[in-house]
Amino acid sequence: MRDLSIIEGGAMLVEDGCITNIGPARRVENLREARSADEIDASGRVVMPGFVDSHTHLVHGPARLADYEARIEGRTYSEIAASGGGILSTMRAVRSATARRLEANARLDLARMAEHGATTAEAKSGYGLDEPSELKLLKIAAALDGQPIEVVSTFLGAHALPPEFTSADTFIDHLISVVLPVVAKRRLARFADVYCDDGAFTVLQAHRYLLAAHRLGLLPRLHGAQHRDLGVTRLAIEVSAVSVDHLEAINPCDIRPLAQSDVMATLLPGSVFHLGLTRYAPARALIDAGAAVALATDYNPGTSPTLNMQMVLSLACAQMHMLPAEAVVAATINGACALGLNSRLGSLEAGKQADFIVLDVADYRELPYCFGVNHVVKTFKRGMPVAARKELFSL
Ligand code: NIG
Ligand code: FE
């Protein structure tokens, strides 16, 4: 994860949305195909792969500002959830919102993601929690794919227990027998996700749900060990999950088995920061043990209202002791791995899709170092500009 294969004075040739050649400028510029190419001059700047934000709750209701204030005043995430805030308050807002409004908001968010350098984003459902509302969220995500960045859908049917059900087991049965088959038949999601934690679902319930999803062709991924580790890592390994996400509370004994597996450890420091907590996931121990680590925003109104991957990199470096190079890898190629898209996305190599960003820095380490500002000058998806910073103008 420390090897970025930087090309100083590099150039990249793009044709039909794909990278056809990359290397030192003096070689690439002299290629026959390069002579008729349009030139984008990025001299003095860093050009790198666009961020692959592999964990977001893209389509959601309004901001949860009362939760935010309550937390500042000292109430915990679970206390706030128990008194009418939390995931179920967003669920109520999502159920009553029109698809049009939700889509309009998510469209703006995708444009802002592109402005901040993301070229691909995963989008989870999970705020509808009944069949029509979950389908509404998944259809919106599908409609937004490519508008302007790529959207990869995950069915997070098992995010929380909705009020119509009193038993989590009965709800999981309902998801398995009723909702999952519809999602799979209509090809509305590539992945299935479940929240396995205190106040959410148990390992047994998560296991049942993920196995049923897998049988229908949806690949498993997990939220877990955010507040307490119920054994989510072992479960992720057992069901060959693509990724296990959060892990702030991971049992240290599970780090080695995770490192020896093919499961991505996706870390979400934005949620720790926003919740005002101090326990970040043990990125250093994971990486040192040989685990593959990805970084994502976890963009959602409850725990991580940021869509800025650059801020996530700053948090990863300052709070989780990841080196800038490790953070860049985690936010690009490893994010692509976490979505099973690494053969096409996540790095700048001949044959890959030309998803790249131009930054206003001369050294990539300035990206996390100079935090809280947007360094992205221009974002390209499949070789085409999809976001550009407006030039500063004088008054
Ligand atoms: O990833 N952990 C569960 N789900 C979200 C938060 C959802 C919410 O509070 O609205 C997360 O942090
Ligand atoms: Fe999440």
Give pLDDT, residue 395: 58
pLDDT at 394 over 60: no
- Return the best residue to mutate from 53, 54, 57, 201 for the ligand 1 pocket (most ligand atoms within 8 A of CB): 57
pLDDT tens readout for residues 22-38: 999 999 999 999 999 99
Q: Which residues pair with 99 in a beta bridge?
A: none
- Write the residue with the smallest CA distance to atom 3 of ligand 1: 195
Q: Is the CB of 14 under 6 A from ligand 1?
A: no
Q: Which atom of ligand 1 is nearest to the CA of 301?
A: 10
Q: How far is the CA of 267 from the centre of ligand 1 (A)?
A: 13
Confidence (pTM): 0.98
List, for residues 234-269, the tens digit of each pLDDT value.
999 999 999 999 999 999 999 999 999 999 999 999
Average pLDDT, integer, range 40-54: 97
Residue among 273, 279, 303 whose CB has most ligand 1 atoms within 8 A, to mutate? 303
Residue 164: predicted pLDDT? 98
pLDDT band at 119 (very low <50, low <70, confident <90, very high): very high
pLDDT digits (tens, 9 = 90+) for 120-151: 999 999 999 999 999 999 999 999 999 999 99
- Give the chain's end-to-end CA distance (angstroms, integer): 45
How many helices and strands (H and E) does the chain possess?
Answer: 18, 14
Considering only CA atoms, which residue is closest to atom 11 of ligand 1? 303
Task: Work out the percent of the chain whose per-residue pLDDT is above 90.
Answer: 97
C-alpha dihedral, 140 to 141 to 147 to 149, nearest 10°: 170
pLDDT at 284: 98
Q: Across all residues in the chain, what is the average pLDDT?
A: 97
- Give the per-residue pLDDT at 393: 60
Q: Are 381 and 115 in contact (CB under 8 A)?
A: no
Cα 42 to averaged position of ligand 1 atoms, centre (Å): 38
Cα of 193 from ligand 2 centre, angstroms:
10
Question: DSSP letters of 302-344?
Answer: TTB----HHHHHHHHHHHH---HHHHHHHHTHHHHHHTT-TTT
**DSSP three-state, residue 266:** strand
Confidence of residue 111 (pLDDT cuts 50, 70, 90): very high
User: What distances in angstroms separate CA 381 from CA 17, 281, 306, 345, one per listed residue?
Assistant: 8, 31, 21, 11
Ligand having the closest approach to the CA of 227: 1
Q: What is the pLDDT of residue 367?
A: 98
Residue 300 Cβ contacting ligand 1 at under 6 Å: yes
Task: Give the model's pLDDT for residue 387.
Answer: 97
Region 216-225: mean pLDDT is 98
Q: Which amino acid is at 228?
A: R
Q: What is the pLDDT of residues 48-89, one digit of tens each?
A: 999 999 999 999 999 999 999 999 999 998 899 999 999 999
Q: How far is the CA of 298 from the centre of ligand 2 (A)?
A: 5
pLDDT at 77: 86
Q: What is the best residue among 54, 76, 87 to mutate for testing ligand 1's pocket, by most ligand atoms within 8 Å of CB?
A: 87
| CA-proximal residue: ligand 1, atom 1 (nearest) | 298
Q: Is the CB of 226 under 6 A from ligand 1?
A: yes
Q: Which two tokens stand for residue 169?
A: 């087991």
Q: Looking at residue 134, what is its pLDDT?
A: 98
Given the CA of residue 64, which atom of ligand 1 is nearest to it? 10
Calculate ∠ Cα 222-112-294, nearest 5°. 30
Residue 390's pLDDT band (cuts 50, 70, 90): confident
pLDDT of 392 reads 58
